[in-house]
Structure 1
Amino acid sequence: MRLTIVSVGHKMPDWVATATIEIKEIKPDLTLAKEAVKIAAAIPKGSRVIALDERGKDQTTQNLATQLASWRQEGFDITFLIGGADGLDPSLKTTAQAIWRLSSLTLPHAMARVLLVEQLYRAWTILQGHPYHRE
């Protein structure tokens, strides 16, 4: 299973690039529709898409681990979309398999990337029985 994050943003701090999950950065555009074209082109073929949006469905770390296990068993690649300052174009949310939110708080895009990567790591440790995650 391959995990990809497609995120709108520019001039991210150096620490954002240290993640081991592939992050494809899309430069912001004047309209959400133009960004959507760039984002859609960056989504790997056949990948399941999870759009991250402040109005999306809350997830727990345990639910994420369960979902990752299911995707891995089914052989799906997953792409997470993080929008720019104005979010994601509605067309991307409509075509996504799910819309999740990372937090009820407003997060800067660089922090959203790091939070997502940390939660993916935590979910993997749950699946491996590693003691990193504690209930």
Structure 2
Amino acid sequence: MKIRILTIGQKMPAWVLTGVNDYLKRIQPFVQTQFVEIPMAKRGKNDSEADIFKYCQTEGEAILAALKPNEILIALEVNGKELSTENLAKTMKDWMLEGQDIVLAIGGPDGLSDQVRQVAKWHWSLSKLTLPHPLVRVMLIEQLYRAMSINHNHPYHRA
């Protein structure tokens, strides 16, 4: 199993890079994981709803174009299913047993396109809170690492 995280946006603050890189190093012995940054569509100050729809479509097309044939797409979005860390660990164990390569898609500031939502096997919410895009990256990789530490009886997770 491999995990790829497709994320809209580039040029993250240093604290995000530090956090993401730390957890990426930690998770590699458990599961090969990588982030793939997809450029965000250029936005203006007074964009119409039609413009915003177009941006989401463009970003969605880029996400779908980055998918490989053997990968299962999971959309990260606020209306998705919430999982406890223990349930995430069980889900990841199932993915590993099935040999599935997973792609987690993080949308841009306007979310994911309808097309990405339709292709996604399931929808996952990290929280019902509105979270800053950079923080989602750190929270996501930390939770993936925590789940893998549970599955490998590593002491990182203490319930």
What range is the shorter-chain TM-score in?
over 0.9
Q: Structure 1: any 5+ residue segments left out of the alignment?
A: none
Report the counterpart of residue 110 of structure 2 in structure 1.
86
Please tell me the residue identity of whatever aligns with 1:121: Y
Report the counterpart of residue 102 of structure 1 in structure 2.
126
Please tell me the residue identity of whatever aligns with 2:36: K
Counterparts of 2:68 and 2:144, CA distance in 1? 19
Report the counterpart of residue 11 of structure 2 in structure 1.
11
8 Å CA contact 1:4–1:23 kept in 2: the answer is yes
Report the counterpart of residue 64 of structure 1 in structure 2.
88
Sequence identity percentage: 41
Q: Runs of 4 or more off by more than 3 Å in structure 1?
A: none
For normalisation by structure 2, the TM-score amounts to 0.80
Q: 1:13-92 alignment to 2 at 5 Å? A: 13-14=13-14, 15-16=16-17, 18=21, 19-20=23-24, 21-29=33-41, 31-92=55-116
Show CA shifts across 1:89-132 (max 9, x none). 01101110110101121111111011010000000000011121
Show CA shifts across 1:51-102 (max 9, x none). 0001111111111100111110110000000000000001101110110101
1:10 Cα deviation (Å)?
A: 2.2
**What is the CA RMSD across the aligned residues, in angstroms?**
1.3
Please identify the structure whose Cα radius of gyration is greater. 2
Counterparts of 1:28 and 1:114, CA distance in 2? 19
1:44 Cα deviation (Å)?
A: 2.6
Counterparts of 2:11 and 2:85, CA distance in 1? 29
Report the counterpart of residue 139 of structure 2 in structure 1.
115
Counterparts of 1:97 and 1:131, CA distance in 2? 31
SS in 1 for 2:37: strand
Counterparts of 1:109 and 1:43, CA distance in 2? 21
